[in-house]
């Protein structure tokens, strides 16, 4: 059974090793992932945006993300935006704790009492943001929230059920798994298409032939996850069909 992950919220913590607030981001993120919202959240290590592949860099387009930063440098928020996609929400620990009138935290390996209170505060705030974000419709093609007043955009809710829902998933990191992507050439332009391998797999399993009769459905499914530049709109269907044909050929040879 091949399924795309259901809508979740990505948590990106700065994990800054030099400051107690960095440890707070890490522990608060883990608390959300493991205890508070284990089925609604997933995480990725911040440096993986650079050290990983295209799939890892697609993380913040695929998931609405919450960046949790220890200090004003905002490494998690800025790094996520620079290499993956703009975070849907952002928390800065020292600011949040100051606003709550808390003492400055201490400890790196082991946080002091103020630090542990900070973990609770940040985790609760993050969990609340997760709930807020899950109430909104997220477009994986745009990597942004859908304007509810718009009629033309395709929401995740419009996905075929088998694509939109996956089985129960425990709290986990996306490290190394990445979002499935494939590069294709359209009119000489290389495009990185999110979710294409799984879409092909799904179509192949459903017995849909790599012929023109499949093209419209294939195109509509691909557009759910990928913005299509206007100048490539005409050439894309044929390029997709060609790639799908090759995919089917490889499948048939290996089976």
Partner 1 sequence: MNSHNHKNTRKVTIVPCSGIGKTYGTVSRLAAYEVVEDLRPDSAQLVPLSLLVLGDEDTRATLQGSQTVTIDGCKLACARKMVAECGGVVAQDFAVLDVYRRYKQFKPDGIAELNEGGQKLARALAEEVAQVVDRLNEDKGGQCG
Chain residues that interact with partner 1, rule: CB under 8 A: 13-19, 22, 26-27, 29-31, 33-34, 43-52, 71, 73, 75-76, 78-79, 82-83, 94, 104, 108-109, 172-176
For the CB of residue 67, give the shortest distance to partner 1 in the complex, in Å.
Answer: 11
Which is nearer to partner 1, 17 or 216 (by Cβ)? 17
What CA–CA distance (Å, rounded) separates 30 from 40?
A: 13
DSSP secondary structure letter of residue 66: E
Contacts of 66 (CB under 8 A, 6+ apart): 9, 10, 11, 12, 87, 88, 89, 90, 91, 126, 129, 130, 133
For the CB of residue 108, give the shortest distance to partner 1 in the complex, in Å.
Answer: 6
What CA–CA distance (Å, rounded) separates 14 from 216?
A: 42
For the CB of residue 201, give the shortest distance to partner 1 in the complex, in Å.
Answer: 24
Which is nearer to partner 1, 150 or 176 (by Cβ)? 176
What CA–CA distance (Å, rounded) separates 240 from 200?
A: 10
For the CB of residue 149, give the shortest distance to partner 1 in the complex, in Å.
Answer: 36
Q: Which residues pair with 193 in a beta bridge?
A: 182
Which is nearer to partner 1, 119 or 154 (by Cβ)? 119
Which is nearer to partner 1, 17 or 148 (by Cβ)? 17
């Amino acid at each position: 059974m091949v399924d795309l992950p259901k809508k979740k919220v990505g948590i990106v913590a700065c994990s800054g090793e030099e400051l107690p607030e960095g440890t707070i981001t890490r522990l608060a993120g883990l608390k959300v992932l493991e205890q508070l919202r284990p089925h609604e959240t997933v995480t990725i290590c911040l440096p993986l945006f650079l050290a990983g592949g295209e799939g890892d860099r697609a993380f913040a387009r695929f998931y609405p993300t919450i960046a949790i930063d220890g200090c004003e440098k905002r490494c998690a928020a800025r790094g996520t935006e620079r290499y993956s996609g703009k975070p849907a929400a952002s928390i800065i620990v020292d600011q949040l704790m100051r606003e709550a009138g808390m003492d400055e935290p201490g400890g790196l390996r082991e946080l002091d009492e103020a630090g542990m209170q900070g973990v609770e505060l940040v985790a609760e705030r993050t969990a609340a943001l997760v709930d807020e974000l899950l109430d909104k419709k997220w477009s994986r093609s745009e990597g942004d929230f859908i304007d509810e007043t718009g009629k033309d955009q395709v929401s995740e809710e419009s996905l075929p059920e088998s694509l939109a829902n996956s089985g129960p998933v425990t709290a986990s990191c996306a490290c190394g798994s990445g979002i499935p992507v494939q590069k294709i050439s359209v009119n000489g332009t290389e495009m990185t298409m999110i979710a294409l391998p799984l879409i092909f797999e799904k179509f192949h399993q459903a017995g849909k032939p790599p012929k023109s009769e499949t093209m419209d459905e294939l195109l509509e499914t691909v557009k759910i996850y990928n913005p299509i530049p206007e100048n490539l709109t005409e050439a894309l269907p044929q390029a997709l069909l060609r790639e799908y044909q090759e995919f089917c050929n490889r499948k048939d040879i290996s089976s």
